[in-house]
A and B are shown apart, each in its own frame.
Chain A
Amino acid sequence: MVTPVLVLPTPCRVAMDELLLSKLRLSVVAELLTCEWATFADLTRATGATVGNLGAHIGKLIEAGYIDEEKRFVGRRPQTRYRLTASGRSAFANHVQALQKLLEGTPSS
């Protein structure tokens, strides 16, 4: 899978993950980082986003393979929950590293 990358002009030439440039998508991935899984309701509460907006952004993260979606029933209530994939975890780590490099002003290799 090809990860979208945004390369900034020098002197801040740092490879960033374009998907994670959105604060909401970055928040979703950060929320899932310490979770085995979290439901859509929990992510809505945690991010403060509207249901429609969050759904659209989560869709992009699923499409990129950063998170997995699981739909199930708890009793009679439908529940959708998400977990971070290995590629999502690695993308997040690289993105945060790129942000730190940008702050330090050192170009990435």
Chain B
Amino acid sequence: MDRSEAHQHLELVGKILSRTESRIEYVPSLFIVWGFAAAISDIVWQVSSSAFRAGTGAPPSNLMWLAGAAFVIAVVNQILVVRRMQSADRRSLKGQQIGRMFGATFGTAMILAYGAPQIFHGWAGPTMFNAAAAIALWFIAQQGDRRAGVATGVMIASILAAAWYEPLRGYILAAGWIVGYAGLGVAYAMPRRNG
């Protein structure tokens, strides 16, 4: 092999790696559906909390049903997406790492929020999910995704704002989910629609 041939081979490898490394397939529906499901859950939590404080009893039952339905839709969508990904033609190592990161972050938040209510009581549980989302989105941002960086900022800002505006805490956390998390899903869906 001469030098020009070696140069051609290295150029070929460089082209393939730059194409495949930037090819991470995010599934917009995962962000959109989970974002809205979490937001609805926060809103229901806020309504319940306000009703409890005002002494007017439980929140409307249709609101509870809506939260339950949103959670079921999100889980079903998650199962369908995972099944589709398993039969896909290619799965990137980065995509696999991101999936594991999301699983670990939200899994930990879920175990702590539901398993240790003595420590994470009141708004600590719902807030922890916003924090988990911020950490997971930051991991995507580290792959060079600026939109995920902005979404991370939105999730963190929602926690800080919720800390200072106690009467609207649930609505602010919900806004974080809609703008930061579902909004990122919409942003991921945009290039596909245009391209």
Contacts and interface: CB of A to CB of B under 8 A. Distances in A.
Interface of A: 6, 8, 12, 16, 21, 23, 26-27, 30-31, 33-39, 41-42, 45-46, 74-75, 79, 96, 99-100, 102-103, 105
A26 B91 CA distance: 19
Interface string B72-99: 0000000000000001011111111000
Interface of B: 1, 3, 6-10, 12-13, 16-17, 20-21, 23, 87, 89-96
Contacts of A102: 1, 3, 6
Given A31-B20, A36-B95, A37-B91, 5 more contacts: A8-B1, A26-B12, A35-B20, A41-B89, A102-B1
Contact of A36 (B3, B7, B9, B93): B93
Nearest to B8: A23
A33 B1 CA distance: 23
Given A33-B20, A36-B91, A37-B91, A100 B10 contact: yes
B160 to A, nearest CB: 37
